[in-house]
Amino acid sequence: VNAAEKTLYLADKGRLSSAPAPESEKNGFDEYVSNPAKPVPYTMKTSIRYNRDYFVEDQRFAASRPDVLVFATEPLAEDMTIAGPIRAELYVSTTGTDADWVVKVIDVYPDDAPDPKTNPAGIRMAGYQRLIRGEIFRGKFRESFEKPVPCVPGRVAKVAFDLPDVQHAFLKGHRLMVQVQSSWFPLFDRNPQTFCDIRTAGEEAFRKATHRVYRTSRYPSRLSFKVAAE
């Protein structure tokens, strides 16, 4: 399949832009407080069992949280099919010495999207934020999986990782959204946000931290993927 590389840059005002930030943009970032005691859940459903439908679940429950960053394109002028791996490159800093970085790619339905004809669950598709792909990366492994290193508080670092392969068609009028957060519980264990052996860490190791995601010409946080030719 013929495919072209496309990059979307995190931009101001919650935008995803096809153009990098201008040279004049030197201080752009978004930040949030991550609290291990109140992690972002992977699902809005309450259940004693694993929710197998989470990977297409509406993500508006997460987008409304103050510890989740949200970026989106304008409504697409034409259909866009993405195929293959998705590469996330974030420039980040934290007040702690470790942090997790979760990137989720989401298909946002238009406000006039019709509901399914057969709809026993009563799902409303208007504005639905359908999870397409997501992945997590532990910051202390940003240089090597063999030799973890602590984050230096306040110092900008690059965190780059691949999301699972995908083939998905974003239809005309839909938007592509990216959500960035630092927990995805209990799919993944909580990061104490201090550099330690998490398996043996006591509760005192789990601390709040302020995380920043940068979006400047020097630190161009972005998402790259292949767009299949029509």
Residue-wise pLDDT for 200-209, tens only, equals 999 999 999 9
pLDDT at 67 over 70: yes
Output the six-digit token pair for 103.
């990137």
In whole angstroms, what separates CA 85 from the centre of its chain?
15
> Which residue type sits at 200?
T
Cα 229 to Cα 135, 163, 164, 223: the distances in Å are 26, 21, 20, 19
Question: Tell me, what amino acid is at 193?
Answer: Q
pLDDT of residue 1: 60
CA 195 to chain CA centroid, Å, is: 22
What pLDDT band is residue 219 in, cutting at 50, 70 and 90? very high
- Read off the pLDDT band of 55 (50, 70, 90): confident
3-state helix, strand, coil split of the chain in percent (to 5) is 10, 40, 50
Q: Which of 42-46, 65-69, 107-111, 135-139 has the lowest mean pLDDT?
A: 42-46
Mean pLDDT along residues 75-102: 97
- Is the per-residue pLDDT at 15 higher than 90? yes
pLDDT at res. 120: 82
Residue 132 has pLDDT above 80, yes or no: yes
Q: Beta strand pairing status for 100-108 and 129-138?
A: antiparallel
Q: Are 156 and 90 in contact (CB under 8 A)?
A: no
Interatomic CA distance for residues 109 and 126, integer angstroms: 6
Q: Is the pLDDT of residue 198 over 70?
A: yes
Looking at residue 209, its pLDDT comes to 98
Alpha-carbon torsion (218, 14, 165, 187), positive or negative? positive
Model pTM score: 0.95
pLDDT at 19 over 70: yes
What is the model's pLDDT at position 51?
85
